[in-house]
Amino acid sequence: MDEVRPTSGAQAHGLVPLFPPGLEAIYGECRRLYPEQANPLQVTAIVKYWLGGPDPLDYISMYRNTGCPAQDVQEHWHYVSFGLSDLYGDNRVHEFTGADGPSGFGFELTFRLKREVGETAPPTWPAELMQGLARYVFQSENTFCSGDHVSWHSPLDNSESRIQHMLLTEDPQMQPIQTPFGCVSFLQIVGVCTEELQAAQQWNGQGILELMRGIRVAGGPWLITDMRRGETIFDIDPHLQQERVDQGIESEGSNLSGVSAKCVWDDLSRPPEDEEDSRSICIGSQPRRLSDKDTEQIRETLRKGLEFNSKAALPPISSQRQNHERPQSRKDSLESESSAAIVPHELVRTRQLESVHLKFNQESGTLLPLCLRGRLLHGRHFTYKSINGDTAITFVSTGVEGAFATEEHPYAAHGPWLQILLTEEFVEQMLGDLQELNTREETKLPKEYSWPEKKLKISVLPDSVFDNPLQ
């Protein structure tokens, strides 16, 4: 993050003589909540993003919130971003498309941090966290929506805290606003432990957030993050895992339809020297590129893919259209919302493969039971999109429409995109064979699983294989 400095609100906003309309609209919503804090402390990037600086958020205001004793809400610091929405309306950052749609990306971020005893000023580290999320949004053009999760793999405040990941939800106090440049909603960051993130992946983020609202030390009604929290919601109430999460997965499946991952695949049907072998898309060689249509279809299939701090992050991947699951239907589709089923390009033919070998790192491999139990057994699909190239692996069930893998030809490739169709019977068999991946203990690697009668092989390999492909 560029240099930050706390400043007064008026100074940071630059009254010369009026606020930019988009900024004024957000600031007005803040004044509604905090009429006594007209000039809050702010963190501001010295060089604005639209002047070549690295930080997309022009300002982050920090308010002292007294909580709500009637709802058992504790005192905390409340952070509000300015910059993901269109503040200026002159195309310096966001293209102005009219007042009827979203302003910029259509949202701003907020964060609620428990105020420690004796603290007289808000910590500024949440500003760096919010800038990091904003940089992802600007660089990827993927937006967030309520229920999304972010795998951060590091304490949010760089301490020894167990709070190392995030969920996103609607801010409980800030209301969506209409600005001259479009509408803006407010999404709150909620810090969570690894076990809570995993439960959100396996079930859904909204369900875990609702459980956290019911436990004061885990956030309470306003989901206030306490970086000193040492217990997960499952430590506090051991019955939650089985009675709420496991039953939810069993009855509803998982809302997670894809992850960014360390993965590759090999076509074992052809000899290695064959120029058409799909090894050309795998480790140690130049990958074919996904076509624009394939890329768009995968974007519509997945839910937000984020990579942070060069870690093996596996958060959700999501289209900007916020295509939520339809739990009442077991029939899923790989069709894009914006078009009919994608027809393979004439220049990139779809190939039916006889035998395939899938390779995942440990973190990706541990999500295979989720893919099978939480997605395919509920008639859905699940995609691994490689963080190292264009490679993509999509598992589909027999109820998924728009797939180019079929029961007759269950392994099919379109360029570097592999689809694998699994019958319910085979999914149940695989779940039994992959049962050890369900444990939270690290598995000794490498691990290999093979189903010769199905001509399918899966390897779970160390990260070094993917990070140093030529070794």
Reading the chain (471 residues) residue by residue, the pLDDT tens digits are 444 444 444 444 444 437 899 999 999 999 999 999 999 999 998 899 999 999 999 999 999 999 999 999 999 999 999 999 999 999 999 999 899 999 999 999 999 999 999 999 999 999 999 999 999 999 988 899 999 999 898 999 999 999 999 999 999 999 999 999 999 999 999 999 999 999 998 899 999 999 999 999 999 999 999 999 999 999 999 999 989 999 998 899 998 888 888 999 999 987 654 444 433 333 333 344 556 666 665 655 554 333 333 332 333 333 223 333 333 343 455 543 222 233 333 345 889 999 999 999 998 999 999 999 999 999 999 999 998 888 999 999 998 888 999 999 999 999 999 999 999 999 999 999 999 987 766 678 999 999 999 999 999 999 999 887 554
Pairing mode of beta strands 177-179, 165-170: unpaired
Examine the domain organization and report whether 166 and 265 are in the same domain: no
pLDDT at 428: 97
Examine the domain organization and report whether 398 and 429 are in the same domain: yes
Cβ neighbours of residue 437 under 8 Å, at least 6 residues apart? Answer: 365, 366, 368, 369, 443, 460
The residue type at 340? A
pLDDT at 293: 60
Examine the domain organization and report whether 228 and 177 are in the same domain: yes
Residue 42 lies in a domain: yes
Residue 121 lies in a domain: yes
Domain that holds residue 123: 21-252
Examine the domain organization and report whether 109 and 239 are in the same domain: yes
Examine the domain organization and report whether 99 and 223 are in the same domain: yes
**Are 237 and 406 a contacting pair, CB within 8 Å?**
no
Residue 312 lies in a domain: no
pLDDT at 346: 39
Q: Count how many Cα atoms sit within 13 Å of the Cα of residue 214 in the half-sphere of its side chain.
A: 11
Examine the domain organization and report whether 264 and 212 are in the same domain: no
CA 334, CA 353: separation in Å to the nearest integer?
Answer: 20
- DSSP summary character for residue 175: P
CA 192, CA 231: separation in Å to the nearest integer?
Answer: 10
**Are 288 and 390 a contacting pair, CB within 8 Å?**
yes
Residue 275 lies in a domain: no
CA 470, CA 449: separation in Å to the nearest integer?
Answer: 24
pLDDT at 19: 80
Helices 205-213 and 194-202 pack at an angle, to 10 degrees, of: 130
pLDDT at 283: 35
User: Residue 363 belongs to a domain with what CATH number?
Assistant: 3.30.1360.230
Examine the domain organization and report whether 220 and 265 are in the same domain: no
Examine the domain organization and report whether 172 and 263 are in the same domain: no
The total of structural domains in the chain comes to 2
pLDDT at 88: 95
Examine the domain organization and report whether 182 and 208 are in the same domain: yes
CA 461, CA 146: separation in Å to the nearest integer?
Answer: 33
Of 219, 252, 285, the domain-final residue: 252
CA 251 to chain CA mean position, Å: 23
Examine the domain organization and report whether 395 and 353 are in the same domain: yes
pLDDT at 296: 62
Residue 320 lies in a domain: no
- DSSP summary character for residue 443: P
State the CB neighbour count (10 A cutoff) for residue 435: 10
How far is CA 280 from each of CA 219, 255, 392, rounded to the nearest angstrom? 48, 32, 14
- With CA atoms as reference, report the closest residue to 227 among 152, 309, 143: 152
CA 35 to chain CA mean position, Å: 34
**Are 147 and 304 a contacting pair, CB within 8 Å?**
no
Of 221, 252, 283, the domain-final residue: 252
How far is CA 287 from each of CA 30, 90, 302, 395, 411, rounded to the nearest angstrom? 49, 40, 21, 21, 19
**Are 377 and 427 a contacting pair, CB within 8 Å?**
yes
Of 218, 252, 286, the domain-final residue: 252
